[in-house]
Structure 1
Amino acid sequence: MEAADKPKKRQRMSVVCLNCKTRKIKCDKKRPACSNCVKCNVGHLCEYEPPHWVTRASMSSASNAIQAIAQQIEPNGTPLPALMPPISAPLAPFPETVNSPPRTASSDNAADAQMEVKEELMRLRAQIQSLQSSVVGSHELNTDTVDFYELYNALHTKRSSMEEHKPLCSVTHYKKDQFSAVLSGYFNLCCALFKAKYGDLKKKQESQKTRLDASLTEFLYLLGERESPEVVEVVSKFIQERMPKNDQNNNISFLLPNKHTKGTDTILSHVQSLLPTLGVIKLYLNRFYQFIYPYFPFVDKKVLNERIFTLLRAQDDESAVSIVIDDKFDMLSLAQLLIILRMVHIAQPSCTKDVVLKQNPISAELIGSAVTIISLFKITRKTKLSVIQTLILLRLYLLYAPEDGDGSELTQSQTLFAMIVQSAYAIGLNRDASNHPQMDFDKDLSNLWRRVWYGILDIDRVISTLAGHICCIQNLHSYNVEFPIVDETDSLIDREVTEEYRRSEPLLKMYYDLSNMVNNLANSPRVCDLLDLLNRMEVYVNINYSLETMQPLVESTSDAADVTNFINSKRFLHQFQVYSFKLAVYQSLTLHYESLEYQDPKKSREFLVKNLEAAQNVTNIACKFLMNQYNNYVDSDHKFYLNRFIENVFQRAMNTLICLLIRLYHASDLMSRSIGNNSEALVGEITELTFRIASGVNVLVQNTLGTKYYQAFKTSLKYKFYIRSLRSEGYKCIRDTIEFIDDKFLDDPAARLTMLLRIDLTLGTSTALKQLDSMNYLITSSREFLLQVKNIVSGFDILEDKSLSNEQVIWEPSFKQLSLNEIRGVQTVDDATLLRGLGVGEFLPREVEQTSNSLNLGQLLTVNGPVRFDDLFKTNEEYDDWLSRL
């Protein structure tokens, strides 16, 4: 026997069941099911780890077992009574059953019993199918290693900053993907040519306060939509929400001592002018505690209310408030109030029936005032719990802020969060409250201590890993904090929040593991280990956060409705999170095996299929969510929590569709020249389907999230330009970009390099087109594989919506499907009220030249005479129009 075939020494197997091992609780090791699993009604899922040298049973045997169960349950088409309630969570019972007695066959009618059995059987079949799909083709483990930092230049430098694009973020995929990189370069080249002709839109007078960044103006000019009434309406709303970029209140200036900080009296006077009446503030606080607090329980409701209504003085609820500060740290409570008011305002759905809140909007200036208040404290030198609470609220506001957001990858505030983590360690939040005598006697304070720590841990695992960042909390042994203590005095929602901490702990650990694997610079991860981790995530989520077993809101009592909303929202969150990871990893692996260094067409096709399947599944879920088809499970008041995560997952899915679309147009181009296989007609059919999907998804996102979030609006315009360019030019836009660089700067390497840097594109020699030709694995794919791709693409549900997935929709102006009243309904307020204190006048764009369609490279090279290429390397006079004047 060869050495490789010999079993490893000390092959010790775990003697406890896998469920107890995951939960880290004592197991009595009973067979066939331990007492803990039996108690949780999951005895049939109690499993023990087999010896490592034993070959695992094939998945077909599991399928046969399920079929046998089905035959026993329905031998003659008549189901037997239910033997047990449906699985809710193998590691912890779902909280909706906490206050109700366990259901049995004797207490339920025959219809309920039949439904329970069928649901249980469907769940088991789905789990087996998921496990089967995860091991297809993996009889030989893929032991290849992948360096996620290869194949692209991670460092992005600008005049004002430097940023390293992490391995799993969407921008990185555009850099790694040679096809998409050229398409992105095509857009940047069009922008450069446009500015060479019409002036640099980024050039501003130093004293001018701008509310619009130049990248958006470039999109609108190139799309020919700068005068569309609907676009004007949406852009106006975002401008009104934003503070000027160079406004002193728009910067987080508290990281260093600010010598120019306003005096306390000046701050209070300004805040008082922005605050609504006391009665309106009470309505906002009530809404915060009901709809936002369950997701971010970082304050003590009783203590915060006492402090706030001690600070605020008013004759009655209809009177304006005055602020009385007795202690310096009362200012922190005031800052928390300002952030909370603004968060409640942006979280309101456009369809809210609360007329009072509609008539009393909260300006973004309150956030600037909160930042100014925080700058009064030397938080870089010392901190306390109330400071950390305020900073966490600010961090979360930046995540959901409609005017700027936290970037397309949700990580622009990561530096601030790192400071929050270090502050938490500094005051000992990483140790349980029972270790600190000052708070051990106070249950509420102890539980707050624990909730703040677990909230920080949750943000770290969810947000950091979403962009492939390394987690800020690295050492798993550096903290030891118990879960909040629950007793009969706690509300239903407080109990569920604690239960969610328990339920999500194993999953957050998997997020942490994925982040570390991707960012392991010393030892690159193996492909099989990455796939195994993704499969374990999927299995855990499908069991503990399944969408199939969500409880409808109509089945909840009025008191339990918010609990049901919370549970269902968490299910959606982790479903989106896992799909985001799958899309990011599968896309990276597809590009890895497509690259010339590691080219393996078979594996490229394998991961393309996985990537498309993940994109199809998550897009179908997210589209239904945005189309309000899940309103029976999550009502409009709770949807804000998921919006930014849906935006992120849509961006990853759109990247997958755009990448496929480029390769399809490329394959058609090659096949038309008799290169590759003879499947041009089939490729054309797939191209048509993919184009309709990408167009429909982009329009849906633009008309829902794009009217509320500035980042979503910008991203939708980018994808619209890409889709239009590919539709009108096909692969020609890729070829023209490369040929333009080669032809115009053939004899001037320095100018060529300057141009490449200007459009953020890295190309090799003039053989770049030949390299792309050799990388496209679609031209060598079998007809069977192309039919498989077509079958997956045909499964996107948005194709059934003819109003979204049609040829015309991508050529219409943005938001054409929405009325101005609908767009204004998202705004919910009149401009003058919202702009209180900003000093912005009425928005009246003046007439400028319009274009009916997008500008392409050819038009930019010929319209109004030939371009002067010297102008590509210098700044021209500002082009005066309504966008640049903003």
Structure 2
Amino acid sequence: MATRQKRTASVEEDNDVTSLYKNAKNGDSNGKTKPVKRRNRVTLVCNVCKFRKVRCDRKQPHCTSCVKYNASHLCEYNGQVWSEKEALEKLSTIKPSVLPNQNLAPEESSEPKEISEVDSLRKRVKELESYILFQNQFEAKSTIPFPTKFTDLISGFQSLDSIHGINPIQDNNDLIDLYNYNSIASDLNAMECVNHGPFSRYAIRQKDLNSKNIWNFMYEGIRGKNKVYTKDGVTQLEGKSNPYSLIQRIKEYSVNKFDPQNYSRKSSSLPLGLTYNDPTKNIADSREERIKSILPLQNIIDFHIDNFFDFLYPFFPYISEPDFRKQISRILRTKSTLNIESKNDYAILGLLCIVMRLSYLSMITNNMEINENNVAESSTSEIKKLLLHPIGIEFIDTARDCLNEFQLFHRTNLFVLQLAIFIKIYMTCAPEEPEGIIRNQFQIYNGVLVEMGYSMGLNRDYFHDNPSKINLRRKIWMYLRTVDTTQSMLYGNPYITSDRFTDAEVPSSSGGMEDYVVKAMEPLSKLLNHIQDILRLVLYVKKGISVVQLVEKLNILETYLFTEYGTIQTFFDAYMEKSFSDNFSKTLQLNVFIPVKFFLMALHNELFLYYENKQNLGIVFFYVKKILAGIVEEVLPYTLEFLEQPNFYFKYASQLLLNPSFQLFLHRVNTMLFSLINRTGFSIEGLHIEDPKYEKYKLLKKYLVRCLKLTIIGILKLSHRQCSAWRTGNSHTFILENISSDDYYKESNESSDVRVFDFTENQLDDLINYIERLFPKLDMPKLAAAWKSIHGAVDPARSRFFDNKPNDIKEDQNSNNSPTSPNDNDLWHSRENWQASSFLQQDFTNVMESLFHVDDPLFYWMNEDINNQPFEFNTTSQKI
């Protein structure tokens, strides 16, 4: 309603200006001009401050605010500002003959006062006419689109901070449809349908022709080639391969390797975090007997409980520590038996299993060398003793078994909901999960959690004698809203929580670490509301949505996120502080901030694809540069450091809990980089070598490939901890080796339906210079060594993990005749001469490869996606 009133007022102002202009030019019907008294009001603030609605000190040539936020190139003042005396002196120098109105009465034309009023009016009308488009566009809630000249102006930005809340459009009537693809796919093996939302990787692949081109290449290269690469050569599989499920193979491997009855544990052979040892797996014992068989000594249990509440609880404050400790003490008060008094005790024991498993994983770092030193035979540290008493995957199986004791589809209680929540939490960071959170596999589970919360009334505030219980309910409801909204952001699923359905307040602080927990949650409710405003608009299926409305809401979200949360650098500075401060809660907000950053990039990508189809090159360039600015300024300089450095307080627990978010972020960034590299490559293929833009496109492609290598390094840093990271990193490396090659574009240029860039030389220079600024900020020799290690020789320290492998685990293909990598001491040298076969035989010797039981790291990854195809997918082979 407010927007409609604003538009009406704007139309009335325009009509009023037109009427005044006519009167000033033609006079009234009696031949006399009736002077209109208006104040000589000129906008006193600069354009940027007017747009941001902040105070402007009006300094020349640029105000302090614009200088602070690197927006000096946008800082302009609407008109000259002068005092009333200066204005009269200036107007008195204008000769009456320049006035266009020839009907002025002689007795009035000699009056300087009336001349000044008419001239002032005419000047004001011209100012309004020339500036109204620019002025209104910079209003955060404006519906006036950017004129082309102003799009070019803001595209010259030199910092992402200067364009928060600025997203140009072409026309008020633009409509965008985020469902312009076939969202229903069928799994040919499971014979079931899957609905893919507009932000899923499947949707991006369908809507972006260049992403689809890459996928078609991978599909045609693998479809019908049921073969794997081994040290004996290429083995053709008969029929469709049906490998073991990953979890089952981890279990089989670990049982054979770590069974105390037939193997003496050695620290050098321990695949940290991936053990499985269930003594009662083949025995029909009761649930109580199974729990007793896997529980460690009491002092180890006590350590993991303490460790959880010290370092993990602030991230997941959904358990009451006093109540939990009290219940565990009661249940485990005797060594020989478990004191089970009700079914709820199984929920508490299930929670104990997950708490211990998370605590154990939090002692493992992203640095492989540190892990090996911690469990080395020469080490006598306490952490070695704890790591050699692994809390393995069997604890999670037991927790699930405890949850199965309850009927989740009936009304339940808080204990059961807490257990279900912590199973969900664990699955997002589980090292054994082959997909991690990359795929949309929690949609149904999230729905069950939220409906359980609704059934228990967690969305309502009520008075209770126990303030801690009220706070616990509020925190759990905030978590449910967050995971529901995050799921919708990442995959485009409809959300089922809303601010309209709740009156639950933000949790209150009770002192200590709770102060930081509550502070981290304070801005979250408004952030979720802004996100859901956008989701409510973009997830409308029936027809296209107004781009004006989308940009209005997008501007608001960008501004709020920047104002209340800051940038990734803000979080990194807080993360790296060596003592407690007011910024300590920033670390707790990272798991919320990172998905929102990707959501914004995904919306920018949608606008880029939309205007690319409309062939508006100015707006296309703006959004391409804004996407790259996010990658260059925020993702690459800080993500690699986050993955390497533990927090001073949370230690390695922070890595465990932040790894999945960063892995997903890098995965989605890679999807965009693949598409940009593909466009640049096809742009090069369409130019003659004499074209002045040819070398510029070549350099741009080279820099984009560099950025992609950096993100792959980040993913592969986690390859020894996360199965999904191993699969993603090696698969993306394979794609990189192909799309960075010139031969790829030569072979597919004629038959491919793709988009290319048509940037000017100045625009290309702008993009190249923007990316170049990144490299001095990075430790290039260190990254060069990291990239070389990805393709280097076998690391003997890592190969120790596979001594005495069971017979059902294949030997490593890299034996004495393993091929050597090309001469690539420089991180950035082209690898265009590499063949896929030589790449696939490089060193992937780590825990994950043996667990996957596959020498072609791409085969099963693509095999799963190939089965998930649109109904109308054409299976006819075509050459690319």
SS in 1 for 2:527: helix
What is the CA–CA distance in structure 1 between the aligned matches of 2:272 and 2:688, rounded to whole Å? Answer: 46
Is the contact between residue 312 and residue 324 of structure 1 (CA under 8 Å) also seen in structure 2?
Answer: yes
SS in 1 for 2:304: helix
SS in 2 for 1:432: coil
What is the CA–CA distance in structure 1 between the aligned matches of 2:173 and 2:445, rounded to whole Å? Answer: 38
Give 1:845's aligned residue: 811
Which AA in structure 1 matches 2:728? T
Give 2:292's aligned residue: 272
Give 1:749's aligned residue: none
Give 2:538's aligned residue: 518
Which AA in structure 1 matches 2:616? D
Cα offset for 1:388?
1.0
Residue correspondences, number:
672
Deviation by residue 1:472-502 (Cα, 9 ceiling, x = unmatched):
21x432222133344xxx2322233233332
Cα offset for 1:242?
7.7
Does residue 1:796 correspond to 2:774, yes or no? yes
TM-score by length of structure 2 reads 0.66
* CA gap 1:241/1:460 in 2 versus in 1, 3 angstroms: farther
Does residue 1:326 correspond to 2:341, yes or no? yes
Match for residue 577 of structure 1 among 574, 582, 595: 595
Give 1:285's aligned residue: 305
What is the CA–CA distance in structure 1 between the aligned matches of 2:194 and 2:550, rounded to whole Å? Answer: 26
What is the CA–CA distance in structure 2 between the aligned matches of 1:625 and 1:805, rounded to whole Å? Answer: 12
Does residue 1:347 correspond to 2:362, yes or no? yes
What is the CA–CA distance in structure 2 between the aligned matches of 1:795 and 1:177, rounded to whole Å? Answer: 28
Cα offset for 1:533?
2.9
Does residue 1:190 correspond to 2:181, yes or no? no
Match for residue 689 of structure 1 among 703, 714, 732: 703
Give 1:814's aligned residue: 790
What is the CA–CA distance in structure 1 between the aligned matches of 2:747 and 2:401, rounded to whole Å? Answer: 50
Is the contact between residue 196 and residue 492 of structure 2 (CA under 8 Å) also seen in structure 1?
Answer: no
SS in 2 for 1:639: helix
Give 1:385's aligned residue: 414
What is the CA–CA distance in structure 1 between the aligned matches of 2:294 and 2:61, rounded to whole Å? Answer: 64
Match for residue 441 of structure 1 among 445, 460, 465: 465
What is the CA–CA distance in structure 2 between the aligned matches of 1:634 and 1:151, rounded to whole Å? Answer: 44
Give 2:8's aligned residue: 8
Which AA in structure 2 matches 1:684? K
What is the CA–CA distance in structure 2 between the aligned matches of 1:725 and 1:500, rounded to whole Å? Answer: 43
Is the contact between residue 312 and residue 322 of structure 1 (CA under 8 Å) also seen in structure 2?
Answer: yes
Give the alignment of 1:6-85 within 5 angstroms: 7-8=7-8, 58-59=47-48, 65-66=56-57, 68=59
What is the CA–CA distance in structure 1 between the aligned matches of 2:410 and 2:810, rounded to whole Å? Answer: 48
Cα offset for 1:308?
1.2
Cα offset for 1:377?
1.5
What are structure 2's unaligned runs of at least 5 residues? Answer: 13-42, 66-156, 228-233, 251-266, 375-381, 823-830, 840-851, 861-880
What is the CA–CA distance in structure 2 between the aligned matches of 1:817 and 1:143, rounded to whole Å? Answer: 58
Which AA in structure 1 matches 2:772? S
Which AA in structure 2 matches 1:814? I
Cα offset for 1:639?
3.0
Match for residue 491 of structure 2 among 442, 467, 485: 467
Q: What RMSD, in angstroms, separates the aligned Cα atoms of the two structures?
A: 4.7
Cα offset for 1:180?
2.1
Give the alignment of 1:638-787 within 5 angstroms: 638-672=654-688, 678-702=692-716, 704-727=717-740, 729-730=741-742, 732-733=743-744, 736=747, 768-769=751-752, 771-772=753-754, 775-776=755-756, 778=757, 780-787=758-765
Which AA in structure 2 matches 1:453? W
What is the CA–CA distance in structure 2 between the aligned matches of 1:128 and 1:679, rounded to whole Å? Answer: 22
Deviation by residue 1:607-649 (Cα, 9 ceiling, x = unmatched):
2112111222221354353364685697443233322111111
* CA gap 1:275/1:142 in 2 versus in 1, 3 angstroms: farther
Does residue 1:620 correspond to 2:640, yes or no? no
SS in 2 for 1:163: strand
What is the CA–CA distance in structure 2 between the aligned matches of 1:809 and 1:555, rounded to whole Å? Answer: 26
Give the alignment of 1:82-231 within 5 angstroms: 132-134=162-164, 138=168, 143-151=173-181, 153-160=183-190, 161-192=192-223, 194-195=225-226, 198-200=235-237, 203=240, 211=247
* CA gap 1:165/1:7 in 2 versus in 1, 3 angstroms: closer
SS in 2 for 1:269: helix
What are structure 1's unaligned runs of at least 5 residues? Answer: 13-53, 75-126, 215-232, 250-260, 316-320, 435-439, 739-766, 833-838, 864-877
Cα offset for 1:237?
4.2
What is the CA–CA distance in structure 2 between the aligned matches of 1:186 and 1:213, rounded to whole Å? Answer: 30
> Which is bigger in relative contact order (C-alpha 8 A, separation at least 6)?
1
* CA gap 1:572/1:795 in 2 versus in 1, 3 angstroms: farther
SS in 1 for 2:175: coil
Cα offset for 1:168?
1.5
Which AA in structure 1 matches 2:714? L
Give 1:367's aligned residue: 396
Give 1:452's aligned residue: 476
Deviation by residue 1:164-195 (Cα, 9 ceiling, x = unmatched):
22212234222322222222222232223542
TM-score by length of structure 1 reads 0.66
Match for residue 456 of structure 2 among 427, 439, 447: 427
What is the CA–CA distance in structure 2 between the aligned matches of 1:7 and 1:852, rounded to whole Å? Answer: 68
Deviation by residue 1:377-409 (Cα, 9 ceiling, x = unmatched):
122233222111111111111111111166443
SS in 1 for 2:482: helix
Give the alignment of 1:243-282 within 5 angstroms: 265-282=285-302
Deviation by residue 1:306-355 (Cα, 9 ceiling, x = unmatched):
1112112456xxxxx74332222211111111111112222334258734
SS in 2 for 1:803: helix
What is the CA–CA distance in structure 2 between the aligned matches of 1:145 and 1:242, rounded to whole Å? Answer: 53
Cα offset for 1:139?
8.7
180-189 or 569-578, which deviates more:
569-578
Larger Rg: 2
What is the CA–CA distance in structure 2 between the aligned matches of 1:403 and 1:281, rounded to whole Å? Answer: 23
SS in 2 for 1:672: coil
Is the contact between residue 315 and residue 588 of structure 2 (CA under 8 Å) also seen in structure 1?
Answer: no
Which AA in structure 1 matches 2:177? D
What is the CA–CA distance in structure 1 between the aligned matches of 2:207 and 2:383, rounded to whole Å? Answer: 48
Give the alignment of 1:511-590 within 5 angstroms: 511-546=531-566, 560=580, 565=584, 567-590=585-608
Give 1:338's aligned residue: 353
* CA gap 1:130/1:443 in 2 versus in 1, 3 angstroms: same
What is the CA–CA distance in structure 2 between the aligned matches of 1:502 and 1:862, rounded to whole Å? Answer: 53
Is the contact between residue 577 and residue 648 of structure 2 (CA under 8 Å) also seen in structure 1?
Answer: no
* CA gap 1:305/1:661 in 2 versus in 1, 3 angstroms: same
Is the contact between residue 338 and residue 366 of structure 1 (CA under 8 Å) also seen in structure 2?
Answer: yes
400-409 or 499-508, which deviates more:
400-409
Cα offset for 1:542?
2.5
What is the CA–CA distance in structure 2 between the aligned matches of 1:235 and 1:7, rounded to whole Å? Answer: 70
Cα offset for 1:453?
1.4
Which AA in structure 1 matches 2:773? G
* CA gap 1:392/1:802 in 2 versus in 1, 3 angstroms: same
SS in 1 for 2:223: helix
What is the CA–CA distance in structure 1 between the aligned matches of 2:269 and 2:746, rounded to whole Å? Answer: 34
SS in 2 for 1:579: helix
Is the contact between residue 186 and residue 193 of structure 2 (CA under 8 Å) also seen in structure 1?
Answer: yes
Give 1:637's aligned residue: 653
* CA gap 1:542/1:821 in 2 versus in 1, 3 angstroms: farther
Which AA in structure 2 matches 1:479? T
* CA gap 1:374/1:64 in 2 versus in 1, 3 angstroms: closer
